[in-house]
């Protein structure tokens, strides 16, 4: 299976509030978070109660609300144009720089396959759209509407300049949804480095 990745620039970043988590990431150990868990996280500066829903007004001024009914698991990254000081202040002072993000996406997909984790079409990657509740003039097909429910956020979060890697597990109906999926790629990631602490 080939990763479905769009608009991915290098490098990308991820910030941690503890050095150990950053060091674990360098060793290929991290977690994907269930998108719905971000609706209720304790840190009010990072909480988004609208995660997992899409909302927009089309060119005919019709309001659309989108729920896809699945549980995406995401790895939130910061795009190349992010303000690193703001990222560190909001997400944590230990920032890793991922110089080959496509390699990371491929390794995650291989990990899922090697562990027999069934997904709908592997690992995807998209820039987050900060357009929730606003106007979208272009017509959206069903796949774009589905993706929008995963990658759309309120404009007030735009300083995060987020890029999301995500996958959707092919789970049986009524399966208990875990908050996290733990990844261990089994080796250090030579394309990742910890940059100066902020």
pLDDT tens, residue order, the chain (198 aa): 567 888 999 999 999 999 999 999 999 999 999 887 777 665 666 667 678 888 999 988 889 888 877 889 999 999 999 999 999 999 999 999 999 999 999 999 999 999 988 888 889 999 999 999 999 988 889 889 889 999 999 999 999 999 999 999 876 655 667 889 999 999 999 999 999 766
- Count of structural domains within the chain: 1
Question: Distance between CA 164 and CA 187 in Å, rounded?
Answer: 23
Is residue 84 situated within a structural domain?
A: no
Provide the pLDDT for residue 41.
Answer: 64
Answer for the pair 33, 180: CB distance below 8 angstroms, yes or no. yes
Provide the pLDDT for residue 3.
Answer: 73
Is residue 119 situated within a structural domain?
A: yes
Is residue 49 situated within a structural domain?
A: yes
Is residue 83 situated within a structural domain?
A: no
Q: Which phi and psi (to 5°) does residue 147 adopt?
A: -65, -35
Is residue 19 situated within a structural domain?
A: no
Is residue 94 situated within a structural domain?
A: no
Question: Distance between CA 145 and CA 130 in Å, rounded?
Answer: 15
Question: Distance between CA 151 and CA 74 in Å, rounded?
Answer: 10
Provide the pLDDT for residue 46.
Answer: 62
Structural domain containing residue 70:
4-8+30-75+101-156+165-191
**DSSP H helical ranges for 82-122:** 84-91, 101-114
Is residue 178 situated within a structural domain?
A: yes
Provide the pLDDT for residue 51.
Answer: 84
């Amino acid at each position: 299976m080939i990763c479905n990745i769009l608009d991915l620039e290098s490098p990308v970043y991820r910030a941690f509030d503890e050095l150990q988590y950053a060091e674990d990431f360098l060793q290929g150990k991290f977690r994907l978070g269930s998108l719905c868990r971000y609706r209720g996280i304790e840190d009010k500066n990072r909480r988004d109660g609208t995660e997992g829903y899409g909302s927009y007004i089309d060119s005919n001024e019709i309001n659309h609300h989108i729920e896809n009914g699945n549980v995406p698991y995401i790895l939130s990254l910061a795009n190349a144009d992010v303000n690193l000081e703001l990222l560190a202040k909001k997400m944590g002072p230990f920032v890793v720089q991922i110089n080959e993000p496509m390699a990371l996406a491929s390794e995650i997909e291989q990990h899922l396959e090697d562990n027999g984790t069934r997904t709908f079409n592997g690992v995807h990657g998209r820039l987050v759209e900060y357009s929730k509740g606003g106007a979208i003039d272009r017509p959206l097909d069903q796949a774009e509407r589905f993706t929008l429910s995963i990658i759309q956020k309120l404009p007030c979060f735009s300083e995060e300049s987020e890029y999301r890697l995500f996958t959707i597990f092919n789970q049986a109906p009524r399966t208990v949804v875990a908050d996290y999926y733990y990844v261990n790629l089994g080796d250090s990631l030579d394309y990742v480095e910890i940059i100066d602490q902020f």
